[in-house]
Structure 1
């Protein structure tokens, strides 16, 4: 059944969120703070691992870097596009609207933060893209089911720290993974293994930024950096007309 992986992924996040919200009710404040720091630390190093694996290569027994200029250009141009569209504010606004409508207004002060942070974490990364493509092209949901297990555990921790807003992350995940699954037959010829690797590397940098926000209570506008993930595909298409872009 095509789309099964996305459905399982959404169910796992909803189940994990339910358990996390249940745990949150019985946790003292100091436990929430420590859990948040632990979650930030884990997210931090997941992002580092993905970024390093995409940027470093071993050639002739020595370590070298690759795609660094692509990363810089994608992040800078992505930031410009994201700021122009003000994606972060729109995400926050949608979260606030849902909070007012479904969560009793000010009942949960971290509702919006939980929605935005968990949505970004669950949607960026290689498993979401590759898993959705496999599901759409071959009817193989195994990658997304494996991702569902990871996301379900993460949802428990997120919801235990940030509350009910994590439930809402199911919506953008459904649109994102479900959309890639449905469009897989049309977009797969454009997504080479190298291109997916580049997009994944940039996604890992954004995961690092999410961990930075959680760990240090800072506010990197990760939502406004989201367009950066898709810019390697733009450079790939343009490289057919401007071959120099293929060397980034």
Structure 2
């Protein structure tokens, strides 16, 4: 089953979030310290991914073009509105902001990254779900901890995770017929690097060192494909 790994990943996020709801009453200082720990770990993961780049100019141009597109489309505002709308279906009006924050933050952490892409590709191309199941275990633990601080919105992040990874897995069943292996391998490297920098931004925001509009940088995940294609053909 092509979507097995994706469904397991989404299920583990839900389980972790539900467990996290039972620990929301712990003292704020514990939550703050735990969140700082997560922020530092997210920074490390992002930096490790970012350093994989082989052509830094591709990463730079991808972020620049992605930022322009994101600001024009105001994606960050759209994500927050989506989070607020979903939150309004489950909570009171006063809780909407925290639900939106939990939804957006968790979605970005779980969706952006090498394991999402590589795991989904493995599921689609080789029927190997090990990477996504491993990612699901990690995501479930992170969801548990995030939920203690950010609340119910974290559980809703399972929806974009399943849609995003599921779409890649289904597409991957045919991707080898469309793209040369050398091109695909190079694209994954640069895509991983761009995603890594976005994860670094998430870590900085979690540590409250910055207020980067990460949602407005998301188009760089798409523009890196266009820019790398031009580079590859040249």
Rg larger for? 1
Give the count of matched residue pairs. Answer: 230
Q: Which residue of 2 aligns with 1:12?
A: 12
Segments of 4+ moved more than 6 angstroms: none
> Aligned to 2:135, which of 147, 168, 171?
147
Q: Deviations over 1:133-164 (max 9, x none)?
A: 11112221111001111111111111111111
Structure 1 Cα separation of the partners of residues 45 and 147 of structure 2 = 19
Pairing of 1:223-238 with structure 2 (within 5 A): 223-238=215-230
Structure 2 Cα separation of the partners of residues 217 and 108 of structure 1 = 24
Report whether the alignment pairs 1:98 with 2:86. yes
Structure 2 Cα separation of the partners of residues 200 and 237 of structure 1 = 15
Q: Deviations over 1:25-82 (max 9, x none)?
A: x301222222221211111121112212x14xxxxxxxxxx41111111110010111
Contact 1:17–1:167 under 8 Å retained in 2 = yes
SS at match of 2:167: helix
Once the 2 structures are TM-superposed, how far is the Cα of residue 119 of structure 1 from its aligned partner? 0.2
Contact 1:125–1:200 under 8 Å retained in 2 = yes
Structure 2 Cα separation of the partners of residues 214 and 21 of structure 1 = 19
Once the 2 structures are TM-superposed, how far is the Cα of residue 9 of structure 1 from its aligned partner? 0.1
Once the 2 structures are TM-superposed, how far is the Cα of residue 89 of structure 1 from its aligned partner? 0.8
Contact 1:100–1:106 under 8 Å retained in 2 = no
Structure 2 Cα separation of the partners of residues 149 and 112 of structure 1 = 24
TM-score calculated relative to the size of structure 1: 0.88
**Bigger mean CA deviation after superposition, 136-145 or 182-191:** 182-191
Contact 1:132–1:177 under 8 Å retained in 2 = yes
Q: Which residue of 1 aligns with 2:64?
A: 76
Structure 1 Cα separation of the partners of residues 150 and 101 of structure 2 = 7
Q: Which residue of 1 aligns with 2:117?
A: 129
TM-score calculated relative to the size of structure 2: 0.93
Pairing of 1:126-205 with structure 2 (within 5 A): 126-188=114-176, 189-190=178-179, 192-205=184-197
Q: Structure 1: which 5+ residue stretches go unaligned? A: 56-65, 244-248
Q: Structure 2: which 5+ residue stretches go unaligned? A: none
Contact 2:99–2:152 under 8 Å retained in 1 = yes
Structure 1 Cα separation of the partners of residues 231 and 223 of structure 2 = 12
Structure 1 Cα separation of the partners of residues 159 and 96 of structure 2 = 19
Q: Which residue of 2 aligns with 1:40?
A: 39
Contact 1:200–1:229 under 8 Å retained in 2 = no
Contact 1:209–1:220 under 8 Å retained in 2 = yes
Report whether the alignment pairs 1:85 with 2:86. no
Q: Tell me the C-alpha RMSD between the 2 structures.
A: 1.6
Once the 2 structures are TM-superposed, how far is the Cα of residue 104 of structure 1 from its aligned partner? 2.3
Report whether the alignment pairs 1:214 with 2:202. no
Report whether the alignment pairs 1:29 with 2:28. yes
